[in-house]
Amino acid sequence: MKVEAIDYGDRKVYSVGAFNRGVAAWLARLPTVWVEGEVTELRRSDRWASVFFTLKDPQDGSCLGVSMARGQFDALRLELADGARVHAYGRPELFEARGEFRLRALSLERFGLGEHLAALERLKAKLAAEGLFAAERKRPLPLLPARVGLVTGNDAAAKRDVLTAVTTRFPPANVLVAETYVQGPRAAGAVVEALRALCRAGVDVIVVARGGGSFEDLLPFSDERLVRAIADCPVPVVSAVGHEQDTPLCDLAADVRASTPSVAGRLVVPDLAQLLERLERSRAGLERGTRLSLERERGNLDGTRERLARAPRLLLERRRAKLEHSAGRLRALSPKATLERGYAIVRATDRIIRAGKAVEPGERVEVELAEGGFGARVEETR
Amino acid sequence: MTFEEAQQELEAIVQRLEGGEARLDEALKLWERGEELYRFCKERLDTAEGKIEELANRAEAAKP
């Protein structure tokens, strides 16, 4: 559309109508979008072609005028009360006659707790199907983090509870606190950014803490971006958001869920007193164990020495016994014992006679007895 | 090495020593290693400063 200006010398000047037409034409090029807000100041008359109401942002009170064709509005039978939350689908427009900017709604949906819950359930099912909440994804918390990251609102309670729990249990703990929005439309993005900033700064574990609040207050903690950021966080995350009965989706994606900020604080640091005691006990065991090995080894050495001292006598005794044994056997083999029993040894010149045929009649033999002997001559042989 | 790993190794060494199976030269080596691990753990505890800091980029974080 051509917008005519009047020239006053070097100054271009638009009439109000032309200006409004120009802006209206520009606005008409903007896309159609969904807008969420609470309905107030609903004005409807059978004499009007359109219904008018104001959409109010419950977070910051921003207002937006809305118009909608009456026939369409009536057909929806929404029966909207003041404060009802709706999603309006439409595009911005300028009411040229009054220079008023508003949203021209093409469609309107009530969006209450039920719809919220349904949307949440859908998101939960989708993320669960991706395995974002799976038990095998959960990482163990470090026993002794060099630095703990804490994402919290600037409301004192949750932050104070975490810090108190941490420093009571482990006084020398280092904590890096990222204060951020924890409610409202900016919260999800702000918490995601805080998580990233903490990781960049270097922490070993992160606590996301937020006190209790209404269902809607806690909604940012079920935001898909936030839930994914927690699941993808390079360090383990402990989630302590809301009360026990609230289960925002971030609780499911976190590595550990704590029922309260204090519990989260106790989970991320070890008990210093216990840790020191355990360490000192180990050290005492180290000394005791080493001394034990030393003493046992000394005992072994003493034993060896005693055996060494006993060795020569033992050897002598063994030799003596062996000697006695040999003497006994020698005695048993000696012919002397046989001669004692009445036998005699008969020799001819240089040989012992074992058979009658070994001598000739008349040959001289020597007979040896147990005591002495005599010479003899052979009478006959057989 | 993390604190946890050091602590676990230290406790395994104590167990081995107290079992009384280590020979003297091994026992002395274990003891030396154990002392080293003990000092490492102790130092980790002693050097923690107990610093509570605020991350300074709140303005950044506040961007939607």
> What is the CATH classification number for the domain harbouring A88?
2.40.50.140
For residue B59, the model assigns a pLDDT of 43
For residue A47, the model assigns a pLDDT of 94
Instruction: Name the average pLDDT for chain A.
Output: 89
Q: Domain for residue A304, yes or no?
A: no
Same domain for A204 and A229, yes or no, is yes
Give the pLDDT confidence of A193-205 residue by residue, as tens digits.
999 999 999 999 9
How do strand A11-14 and strand A148-152 relate by DSSP bridges? unpaired
Same domain for A125 and A191, yes or no, is yes
Q: Domain for residue B23, yes or no?
A: yes
Phi, then psi, of A145 in degrees rounded to 5? -70, 140
Same domain for A157 and A128, yes or no, is yes
- Percent of chain A at pLDDT > 90 equals 54
Same domain for A93 and A14, yes or no, is yes
Round to whole Å and give the CA distance between A177 and B58.
10
3-state secondary structure A4-64: CEEEECCEEEECHHHHHHHHHHHHCCCCCEEEEEEEEEEECCCCCCEEEEEEECCCCCCEE
Beta partners for residue A86, in sequence order: A37, A110
For residue A303, the model assigns a pLDDT of 86
Contact A161, A260 (CB under 8 A): yes
For residue A355, the model assigns a pLDDT of 87
**Chain B residues with CB inside 8 Å of A275's CB?**
45
Q: Which of A234, A249, A273 is the last residue of a domain?
A: A273
**Chain B residues with CB inside 8 Å of A172's CB?**
45, 48-50
CB contact (8 A) between residue B63 and residue A190:
yes
Flag whether pLDDT at B58 surpasses 70: no
Q: How confident is the model at residue A1 (pLDDT cuts 50, 70, 90)?
A: low
Domain that holds residue A347: 337-377
For residue B62, the model assigns a pLDDT of 45
For residue A356, the model assigns a pLDDT of 85
Q: Domain for residue B60, yes or no?
A: no
Q: Which two tokens stand for residue A271?
A: 């008990």
Flag whether pLDDT at A246 surpasses 80: no
User: What's chain A's Rg over C-alpha atoms?
Assistant: 55
Q: Please write down the long-range contacts of A355-361, taking CB distance under 8 Å and 24 or more positions apart.
A: A356/A381, A356/A382, A357/A381
**Is pLDDT larger for residue A217 or for residue A255?**
A255
A295 Cβ neighbours under 8 A, 6+ residues apart: none
CA A212 to the chain's CA centroid: 27
Phi, then psi, of A303 in degrees rounded to 5? -60, -45
Q: Domain for residue A280, yes or no?
A: no
**Chain A residues with CB inside 8 Å of B50's CB?**
167, 171-174
Give the pLDDT confidence of A120-169 residue by residue, as tens digits.
899 999 999 999 999 999 999 998 898 999 999 876 689 999 999 999 99
CB contact (8 A) between residue A292 and residue B20:
yes
Same domain for A131 and A86, yes or no, is no
CB contact (8 A) between residue A286 and residue B38:
yes
Q: Which stretches of chain B are assigned E, i.e. beta strand?
A: 52-54
Q: Domain for residue B59, yes or no?
A: no
Q: Domain for residue B57, yes or no?
A: no
Same domain for A37 and A93, yes or no, is yes
**Is pLDDT larger for residue A253 or for residue A338?**
A253
Average pLDDT in the A316-330 region? 87
Q: Domain for residue B15, yes or no?
A: yes
Among A20, A98, A111, A114, CA closest to A52: A98
ipTM confidence score: 0.81
Count of domains observed in chain A: 3
For residue A189, the model assigns a pLDDT of 94
Flag whether pLDDT at A234 surpasses 90: yes
Q: Which two tokens stand for residue A219?
A: 């909604």
Average pLDDT in the A252-272 region? 94
Same domain for A149 and A249, yes or no, is yes
Q: Domain for residue B58, yes or no?
A: no
Q: Domain for residue B24, yes or no?
A: yes
Distance separating the N- and C-terminal Cα atoms of chain B: 40
Give the SS3 label for residue A67. Answer: strand
For residue A342, the model assigns a pLDDT of 86
Q: Which of A217, A248, A273 is the last residue of a domain?
A: A273
B39 Cβ neighbours under 8 A, 6+ residues apart: none
A99: left (phi over 0), alpha (psi -120 to 50) or beta: left
Q: Domain for residue A161, yes or no?
A: yes
CATH number at residue A223: 3.40.50.2300
Residues of chain A whose beta carbon is less than 8 angstroms from a beta carbon of chain B are: 142-144, 146, 163, 167, 170-181, 185-186, 189-190, 193-194, 197-198, 201, 272, 275-276, 278-279, 282-283, 285-290, 292-294, 296-297
Q: Domain for residue A305, yes or no?
A: no
Average pLDDT in the A4-33 region? 90
Half-sphere exposure of A168 (CA within 13 A, CB side): 12
What is the secondary structure of A68-119 as a DSSP string?
EEHHHHHHH---PPTT-EEEEEEEEEEETTTTEEEEEEEEEEE--HHHHHHH
Q: Which two tokens stand for residue A62?
A: 């921003």
Which of A204-208, A210-214, A262-266, A331-335 is the least confident region? A331-335
Give the pLDDT confidence of A277-305 residue by residue, as tens digits.
999 999 999 888 888 888 888 888 888 88
Flag whether pLDDT at A42 surpasses 70: yes
A56 Cβ neighbours under 8 A, 6+ residues apart: A37, A38, A39, A40, A62, A63, A64
For residue A67, the model assigns a pLDDT of 95
For residue B63, the model assigns a pLDDT of 43
Which residue in chain A has the smallest CA separation from B22? A293
Flag whether pLDDT at B60 surpasses 50: no
The DSSP code for A220 is G
Give the pLDDT confidence of B19-55 residue by residue, as tens digits.
877 788 888 899 999 999 999 999 888 887 888 888 8
Q: Domain for residue B21, yes or no?
A: yes
Domain that holds residue B10: 3-47
Q: Which amino acid is residue B9, in one-letter code?
A: E
Count of domains observed in chain B: 1
Same domain for A94 and A9, yes or no, is yes
Q: Which of A256, A273, A290 is the last residue of a domain?
A: A273
